[in-house]
Amino acid sequence: MSSSPASVQMEEVRRRSQSLLSSSGSAQDVKEEVQTMASVLLPLSEKYRHLGVEAMLRENAACRNTQEVLESLSRLVKALSILEKYGCNLTSPARPRYWRSVKHNNPVFRTTVDAVKGGRTVLFLYGYTNQQIDGLSFPDDVTEPDAAKVASVTLEVMTLRTEVDMLVKRTHPHPENFRDIIPFITQQDELVSDVVVVAHEEEQLADAPQVLSLPPKPGVIPGGEPLKPSTASDCNLCGAASSLVCPSCDDQTFCDVCDAFFHRHPSRANHRRDQGLSRAFVTAAKTSSPSLSPWECAHCTTVNEMRAVLCATCERPRLATAASAAQENPTSVPTSPNTEWQCKSCTVVNQGSSILCEVCERPRLATRPSVASLPPGPGSTSASAAKWMCQFCTYMNTNPTAVCEMCNLSCKDSAGDSLPLSLQQNPSGTKEQPRTQPRPGGDVEAKRQKMMREDGLRLVQQIREAEQRGVSAEEVYAAIGMCGGSSTDPCDWLTSELPHLLDEICAMAASVQAERGGEGAEPSGPGVAGDGAKLSRAEAKLAWLSAGGDTDRAVRQLLRDRQVKMKELHSLGFRDALRCEEALRLSGGEVKGALSLLQRPLLEPFHQRIWTDQPEPPIDPKHPDKQRMCRRLLALYDLPSWGRCELVLALLQEPDVTYSLEDVVQAVKESHDKDFIRRLLVNECPICLSIFPRSKMQSLTSCQCSVCHECFGLHFTIAVRDKHIRDMVCPVCGEPDINDPEQLDSYFSTLDIQLRNCLEMDVYDLFHKKLTEHALMKDPKFLWCCHCTSGFINDGDQMKVTCPSCRKSFCAQCKKPWEPQHQDLSCEQFQQWKRDNDPEYQRQGLAGFLRDNGITCPSCRFQYALTKGGCMHFSCSQCRYQFCSGCNNPYHKTVCKAAQCSYTGLHAHHPRDCLFYLRDWEPPRLQALLQRSGVEFNTEPSNGTQSDACCLMEQKDEAGQQIDSPCGLQTQPGQAGLCEKHYREYLVSLINAHSLDPAPLYDAQELIRACERYQVDTQRGENEDDAAYPARLLKKLMEVPLGEKVPRNK
């Protein structure tokens, strides 16, 4: 390592920034150090220890011009930015979760890192050395990345990104370090210093261009002496008339051409120029036409070989001029080598990969060659000035129009020398060229041009008329060649004479074929009796068109085409030459049509056997003629290959085979693996325990269970006829979860498609009717009648509604039978009135209260006059919704969506004020909670008589049926004439009605269990005593709200 001051400084900054980056992982912390390292003047091999910078830059800057190099370096900067983030993530103390792998299918990675050369090498240096199918990863035995190495590599990536960015922006302090690596970038000054050819009047006549070099700095000539200011009207560089003044260059004056070259340098590109006193035009230097002698480049005056297309020194095209290169629009250069380009000489659109034009073989960047104007005739000066030759079709236009009379192309696209004098712009201050003497023969050239125009217009008119009559341009061209100079219309000739000509071509081909000893061809035309030539007019017409109307060439082409077709038919197994020729003649020379005609006799026995009334014999897998059985399998079952047919026969020949031929064929179509096919053919139905192939099994979309078609249809037929629509789940596992509305809706949409083909029509209609009712129940206006089991849509807004089935009325809000006293009273007011004034309600006491505050289904809002005692798991008889009768939360059969819940069995999540937990409290404890909040409760029966058995109605499960029956348990004194279970329910209903929180009465264990249930932190703090710990837990627990769905009827 060098011990120079720059090396010492580099090493010190590198060590400091590496320490910062490995500890913090933040690129902002080392931004200044990276800028310092990028600006240090050191060789690249010494500055970069890990990265192969020279190779990476050469690979990414291997382009053909400066624009492509700049684009490639910009992509490299983006890729290095992404690689920098990868390195910072690895060195950061808080690394991302998936830091161990880099995926190739990541769109950012694919468009940045993978789009440049050497990107994956940097990832390898980071430690991503394990190649995966979809990306790179750290080895399995590496638990932590090497922070020191990753930080060192990341710093080099950041430094390289900074240097490349400065190179792109032309702000790098030491671009000479990259002279041998990126020549297009570091030679900008040399490119700006290209020569300019300014041809004055005297020099244009002598064909001797004057070369002026642009100075590297304003005001200084290449020799180092100051530039002498000229007059205000002359250009400071070439001495011509000036048009612009640059205040930033000490008010120096420039012409248009010199200004374009002088201010193209990056240091002068932002100079603002003012309009000069006069405008001058710079005449381009004369370009010599290509010849067979060595040529001199108009830019660098290098003498090149005759065969050279581009200059050996400056690589400019042979015909390019200095003025045209300076004034050329940059947008005309293709931005990408793969884009199509239009030749400036012949206007042909070439492929992007071609360098020379496919037609005129001129280079891609060559300008249009100048076409010398024809000398004027003996006419006047104005008449000769109006004539100009079109660059594209060489037609001599006689009128000063802007477009050519023949090809309708603009004269602006033609070379300047070929334009009429009235359309050219003569530079001010230049002398007119001396007129040459008119040469004889001008009238002949004018006549030739006029004849060309007339013939061209006539041909275009004939082609347009022929297209309207359905005749192609090729046929018109060939017909004109046959008509000669006659006035016969080509379309008429094609109709009247072409058939005879085609017969003649066929006869000539047959005679030539007979002379050569052809395969049975006889010299006779196809239209003559006794025809034996076997050639068709369609073939002759194609050959005649491809020959351009030449009869002799058409005969040779016809024989060659027929020979190729005969060889193709011969290779397909048809050896009879006479039959092949006849088939080709009948099919018009088409090989496919001839093949169909030749195969027809071979298929005749098969067709006769197909159309007979005799039944087709079954396929016998043990038949001795194995090939015949395979051919029949191919014909009848459309198997993909001969090997699949042999596989079918092999499976059917195995011992103890129980599956049919159709099942085996269906399985073989799906796979060619014999073991996999056996698994497809042997599947046990979990309901009937029979063996079926996979093709005869059916499964639902909600699970992986498969049953046979018969069991599938029978299960859903019974479910539709005798059960609720929510009972239409998988007969094996009971999926899906009917309490999940989203899952249930998507399940029914797919189930409808599956049941369409396996249920009878009446059963399927019943399924649709139940499905419609299920959808109607979700309507907010849907009501269940409290008198019967009917439901309907209530469109009105009155409290009193009448059931259309039983014609009885009830309240739309509280769902109680309608009474006249309910009119103009809210449901709460009406309930209080009944407690105060209704003797029957007072006689029932707490039993009536519990009945009126019974169970309401949260899904369909159907009310049950039942108590909540007993099992809290309630199943609605109307919609089959399963919920807790104490808090209305749903019961789940499988894993639910609650956070941190992994229970897979039947369960529900109850709030702390649910009857599910409070029913375990003793009545005195519940009474204490009510007394604590000042809520009154009953302890004696309302009618004053103590009965022995509780008479409240409950839903009980008897013999698999849900039956409503009295409770019947023993009552206890001091519990309002109810059993202990229902008295607890009564007290809990009061607690829920007043939204009382039971947490203040929890003991220590209950408090900890409740906190764990709600994910409240139960970790005991340091120096926290026995009184502060439960107080803190109680405060945190009471911040959790009570149950949202708990019934709170007062």
Q: How far is CA 221 from the centre of its chain?
A: 58
C-alpha torsion sign, points 701, 703, 709, 711: negative
Location of structure tokens 């049509």: 593
In single-letter form, the type of residue at position 456 comes to: G
Both tokens of 523, joined, read 């010299």
SS3 253: strand
Q: Are 868 and 894 in contact (CB under 8 A)?
A: no
C-alpha torsion sign, points 561, 562, 565, 567: negative
Give first-to-last CA distance, the chain, whole Å. Answer: 90
CA distance 309 to 357: 12
Both tokens of 100, joined, read 């161990």
CA distance 42 to 159: 13
CA distances from 866 to 220, 612, 846 (A): 108, 76, 13
Catalytic residue IDs? 871
For 856-904, the DSSP string reads: E-TTT--EE-----S-SEEE-TTT--EEETTT-PBPBSS--SSTT----
- Burial category of 294 from C-beta neighbours within 10 Å (exposed 0-12, middle 13-18, buried 19 and up): exposed
DSSP 312: T
CA distance 1019 to 630: 77
CA distance 266 to 204: 33
- Phi and psi at residue 686, in whole multiples of 5°? -70, -10
Beta strands (DSSP E) in 689-799 are 691-692, 697-699, 706-708, 782-784, 791-793
CA distances from 311 to 303, 306, 314, 319 (A): 8, 11, 6, 10
Which value, in Å, is the radius of gyration of the alpha carbons in the chain?
50
Q: Are 576 and 584 in contact (CB under 8 A)?
A: no
Q: Are 318 and 295 in contact (CB under 8 A)?
A: yes
- Exposure letters 786-814 (e unless 16+ CB within 10 A, then b): beeeebbebeeeebebbbeeeeebbbbeb
CA distance 776 to 790: 12
Q: Are 833 and 822 in contact (CB under 8 A)?
A: no
Both tokens of 1023, joined, read 């120096």
Both tokens of 249, joined, read 């260059």
- Exposure letters 12-40 (e unless 16+ CB within 10 A, then b): ebbeebbebbbebbebeebeebbebbbeb
Q: Are 909 and 901 in contact (CB under 8 A)?
A: yes
Q: Let me know the angle formed at the C-alpha of 363 by 360 and 368, rounded to the nearest 5 degrees.
A: 70
